[in-house]
Amino acid sequence: MSEKKPLPVSNYADVKDKIGNGKPTILAFGMSHCYSCLAISKVFAEVLQEHSEFQVYAIDGQKERIISRDLYKLKEMPTQIFFDTAGNEVFRHTGAYKKPVLDIILKKYGFE
């Protein structure tokens, strides 16, 4: 059995213009030393293997704390922010969850 790998970490500056580009987008804020952050990142990596058309980006909330704290007002990690095709925030979740729960959220917010 192969070990699941987390999403590669992206710089916010490299992905901010993808929000609202006509595709739903998820920003998954976390920290490299946080167990729950790594767990949910692995779930998102699994989703991207199944749906390569999705836009899901892992952002290091500690290294990008000005973005996470000041722009998105995050207080805890991991936090995932879901944006619709126009770039409007439609859902926000703090914490980790299993893939079946994520599948329900993705369907509800237009990722299927």
Could you tell me the pTM of the whole model? 0.92
Q: Is the pLDDT of residue 87 over 50?
A: yes
Question: What's the pLDDT at 1?
Answer: 47
Q: What pLDDT digit, counting tens, does each position of 55-86 carry?
A: 999 999 999 999 999 999 999 999 999 999 99
Q: Give every CB contact of residue 45 below 8 A, 6+ residues apart in sequence.
A: 4, 5, 6, 7
Q: Give every CB contact of residue 44 below 8 A, 6+ residues apart in sequence.
A: 7, 26, 28, 56, 58, 80, 102
Q: What pLDDT digit, counting tens, does each position of 14-51 carry?
A: 999 999 999 999 999 999 889 999 999 999 999 999 88
Q: Is the pLDDT of residue 2 over 60?
A: no
Domains of the chain: 9-108 (3.40.30.10)
**Confidence tier at 52 by pLDDT (50, 70, 90):** confident
The residue written with tokens 């703090």 in the block is 94
